[in-house]
């Protein structure tokens, strides 16, 4: 109750600030895409010792965030599913990062502390891999050494792994994990790795080993984000599930909203078959490691890359094995071979970029497919065209997919196509700078083949150096069985205050 009162007060306070922002003569560019494109840190000389460097290079951000959901959560007919229906939620999060080092080595660390109104928080960082789905009160997200010798650089430790070149949606950026407890505000998490970079003139060669697979954290059991509703008129008898399976089933349904509409699964339930739902994640043996190589080249105004990968996939698939009277439904992470490439260039002040990834499933446990995106970034600074606006930066991209071979392995009933994003989408982002302290922003993803969409529109106001207030409206549209449509009851108003030091 105390947390709800606090977050309700924050909604009212920040909402008033947000409305005032539209009439205020202050403003600044607050680029929303910074959350997707964090730049590498640059070393600075320090006159202090090693420990003093860690203090000198320390940076932090405190965010207080609250949300008001416009609709109630769906009402489920399932006895095992108790959906949280808090219309007002909130959280406090403190991000931090720092580093220390000398000319030939450096040690970097970053993480956060967090608490909120959801009943999903427990413990702190798990070493190497975290097999539990709880949100951690304290997370050490990055901890890695950089070693350099001549043209070669080595990275050992836990670090966010980035690939790809596109701005909003990158098909090739799949070799990482994420906290998806708030699905439309994903947080990239670090991956344990051993990487080597070798520079030769304008070309950089990278080779990486990713020895520990980290599963993505999904919304908690009972969260209004876990699924929108079960198919109309259908109820899954609780006695059909063995102990421990309801939680696993809800995680499966996070990815596969249409799962219960599969004929074979429904037939088993109707025949009083006992179902066990399980998750099969990659282990830590060499056979489960990820192997990655990339070449990046910069020539004049053209940047390009090509990469190759073998290891666990980013998206899961579903396997259903049955025998008389019982069956096992498994969410599995298959092995894949993937090739990616892309480019970015500038033409008449407009940045053009394109990227593609081909994913091959060696054992047909998943589809083999080509996923691609292309788009452009540009800016308008013309007081005649934009009266009262200093500048507009905008990005438009199209993402599409071609399946070259369907999933066909025995007992595999659902491929990752039900979970893959960017299959036929128009994505857009815009940032309008009104004054040095006030900006308006917009982000959207329209899934054309599903007639569904996500849109975010809002404003940000810097009230003093280092302190920014934001007000956002997030809207979901589409049929319940679609990626965004399943959250049609989660339209919300989000307010936040960020203090950076």
Q: What is the pLDDT of residue 140?
A: 96
118 has a pLDDT exceeding 90: no
pTM: 0.85
- If pLDDT is split at 50, 70 and 90, which confidence band does 29 have? very low
Asked which of 202-206, 277-281, 428-432, 455-459 is least confident by mean pLDDT, the reply is: 277-281
Residues 234-242, mean pLDDT to the nearest whole number? 66
Q: CA-CA distance, 29 to 390, in Å (whole number)?
A: 10
- pLDDT tens column, 298-332: 998 999 999 999 999 999 999 999 888 899 999 99
Residue with more model confidence, 407 or 134: 407
Residues 42-61, mean pLDDT to the nearest whole number? 74
Residue 468 near residue 437, CB atoms below 8 Å: no
Residue pointed to by tokens 């059909």: 240
Q: How far is CA 115 from CA 73, 191, 250, 472, in A?
A: 22, 23, 24, 21
79 has a pLDDT exceeding 70: no
Residues 419-435, mean pLDDT to the nearest whole number? 96
DSSP characters over 156-193: EEEE-------SS--TT--SSEEE-SSTTS-EEE-EEE
35 has a pLDDT exceeding 50: no
Question: What is the average pLDDT score of the chain?
Answer: 86
CA dihedral 314, 419, 90, 453 (to 10 degrees): 130
106 has a pLDDT exceeding 60: yes
Query: b or e along 311-333 (b: 16 or more beta carbons within 10 Å of the residue's beta carbon)?
Result: bbbbbbbbbbebeeeebbbbbbb
- pLDDT tens column, 259-285: 666 678 878 877 888 889 899 999 989
Q: How far is CA 277 from CA 250, 265, 268, 282, 332, in A?
A: 10, 12, 13, 17, 11
Q: Beta strands of 191-312 (E only): which ranges?
A: 191-200, 203-210, 274-280, 290-299, 302-312
Cα 5 from chain centroid? 30
Q: CA-CA distance, 56 to 44, in Å (whole number)?
A: 10
Longest CA–CA span in the chain (Å) reads 74
Q: CA-CA distance, 299 to 203, in Å (whole number)?
A: 9
- The 3-class SS string of 23-52 reads CCCCCCCCCHHHHCCCCCCCCCCCCCCHHH
Structure letter (DSSP) for residue 238: G
Where is 96: in which H helix or E strand? strand 88-101
- pLDDT tens column, 457-477: 999 999 999 999 999 999 999
- Cβ neighbours of 340 (radius 10 Å): 26
Q: How far is CA 90 from CA 64, 118, 182, 499, in A?
A: 8, 8, 12, 16
Query: b or e along 69-89 (b: 16 or more beta carbons within 10 Å of the residue's beta carbon)?
Result: beeebbeeebeebebbebebb
Q: CA-CA distance, 71 to 491, in Å (whole number)?
A: 7
Q: What is the pLDDT of residue 269?
A: 78
The phi-psi region of residue 478 (left if phi > 0; otherwise alpha if psi is between -120 and 50; otherwise beta) is: left
- If pLDDT is split at 50, 70 and 90, which confidence band does 378 have? very high
Q: CA-CA distance, 210 to 309, in Å (whole number)?
A: 10
Asked which of 16-20, 306-310, 334-338, 369-373 is least confident by mean pLDDT, the reply is: 16-20
Q: How far is CA 23 from CA 183, 442, 472, in A?
A: 32, 18, 16
Q: CA-CA distance, 19 to 292, in Å (whole number)?
A: 48
Q: CA-CA distance, 219 to 134, in Å (whole number)?
A: 9
Q: What is the pLDDT of residue 23?
A: 35
Residue 197 near residue 398, CB atoms below 8 Å: no
160 has a pLDDT exceeding 60: yes
Give the residue from 382, 380, 383 showing the smallest Cα distance to 392.
380
13 has a pLDDT exceeding 50: no
Residues 59-68, mean pLDDT to the nearest whole number? 97
């Amino acid at each position: 109750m105390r947390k709800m009162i606090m977050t309700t007060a924050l909604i009212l306070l920040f909402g008033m600030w947000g409305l005032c922002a539209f009439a205020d003569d202050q403003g600044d560019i607050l680029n929303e895409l910074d959350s997707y494109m964090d730049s590498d840190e640059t070393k600075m000389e320090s006159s202090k010792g090693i420990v003093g460097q860690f203090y000198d290079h320390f940076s932090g951000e405190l965010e207080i965030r609250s949300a008001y959901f416009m609709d109630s959560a769906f009402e489920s007919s399932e006895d095992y599913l108790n959906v949280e229906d808090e219309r007002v939620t909130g959280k406090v999060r403190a991000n931090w990062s720092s580093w220390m080092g000398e000319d030939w080595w450096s040690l970097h660390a970053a993480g956060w502390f967090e608490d909120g109104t959801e009943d999903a928080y427990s413990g702190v960082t798990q070493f190497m891999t975290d097999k539990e789905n709880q949100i951690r009160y304290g997370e050490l997200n990055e901890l890695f050494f950089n070693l350099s010798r001549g043209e070669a650089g080595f990275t050992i430790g836990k670090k966010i792994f980035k690939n790809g070149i596109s701005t909003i949606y990158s098909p090739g950026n799949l070799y990482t994990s994420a906290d998806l407890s708030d699905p439309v505000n994903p947080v990239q998490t670090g991956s344990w790795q051993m990487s080597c970079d070798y520079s030769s003139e304008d070309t950089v060669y990278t080779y990486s080993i990713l020895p520990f697979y980290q599963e993505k954290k999904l919304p908690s059991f009972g969260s209004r984000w876990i699924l929108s509703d079960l198919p109309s008129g259908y109820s899954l008898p609780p006695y059909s599930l063995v102990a421990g399976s309801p939680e696993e089933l809800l995680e499966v349904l996070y990815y596969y909203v249409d799962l219960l509409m599969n004929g074979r699964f429904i037939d088993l339930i109707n025949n009083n078959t006992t179902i066990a739902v399980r998750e099969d994640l990659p282990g830590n043996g060499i056979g489960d490691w990820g192997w990655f190589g990339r070449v990046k080249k910069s020539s004049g105004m053209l940047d390009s890359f090509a990469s190759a990968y073998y290891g666990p996939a980013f998206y899961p698939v579903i396997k259903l094995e049955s025998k008389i009277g019982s069956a096992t439904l498994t969410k599995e992470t298959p092995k894949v071979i993937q090739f990616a490439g892309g480019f970015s260039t500038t033409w008449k002040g407009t940045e053009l970029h394109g990227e593609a990834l081909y994913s091959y499933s060696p054992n047909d446990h998943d589809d083999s497919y080509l996923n691609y995106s292309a788009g452009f970034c540009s800016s308008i600074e013309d007081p005649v065209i934009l009266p009262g606006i200093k500048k507009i930066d905008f990005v438009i991209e199209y993402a599409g997919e071609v399946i070259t071979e369907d999933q066909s392995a025995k007992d595999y009933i659902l491929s990752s196509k039900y979970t893959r994003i960017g299959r036929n989408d128009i994505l857009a982002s815009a940032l309008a700078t009104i004054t040095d302290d006030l900006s308006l922003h917009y982000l959207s993803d329209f899934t054309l083949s599903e007639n569904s969409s996500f849109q975010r529109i809002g404003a940000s106001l810097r009230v003093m150096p280092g302190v920014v207030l934001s007000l956002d409206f997030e809207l979901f549209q589409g049929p319940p069985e679609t990626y965004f449509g399943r959250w049609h009851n989660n339209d919300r108003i989000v307010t936040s205050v960020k203090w950076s030091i």
